[in-house]
Amino acid sequence: MQSLHVSSKLYRSSIRLACLGLSRPYSQSCRSLAFDLHEPARPTTDQRTAPIIFLHGLFGSKKNNRSISKALARDLGRYVYALDLRNHGDSPHDDRHDYSAMALDVQDFIHQHGLSESTLIGHSMGAKTAMTLALQSPELVANLVAVDNAPVDAILSRDFPRYVRGMKSIQEANVTRQSDADKILEKVESSLPIRQFLLSNLHRPAGENVQKFRIPLDILGRSLDHMGDFPFKDPSAVRYEKPALFVRGTQSKYVPDDVLPIIGQFFPRFNVVDIDAGHWVISEQPEAFKQAVVEFLAAPE
Residues annotated as catalytic are 124, 279
The DSSP line for the chain is: ---EEE-GGGGHHHHHHHHTTSSS-TTTT--PPPEEEEPPSS-SS-TTBS-EEEE--TT--GGGGHHHHHHHHHHH---EEEEPPTTSTTSPP-S--SHHHHHHHHHHHHHHTT-BSEEEEEETHHHHHHHHHHHH-GGGEEEEEEES--SS--PPPTHHHHHHHHHHHHHHHT-SSHHHHHHHHTTT---HHHHHHHHTTEE--TT-SS-EESS-HHHHHHHGGGTT--S---TTT----S-EEEEEETT-SSS-GGGHHHHHHH-TTEEEEEESS-S-HHHHSHHHHHHHHHHHHHS--
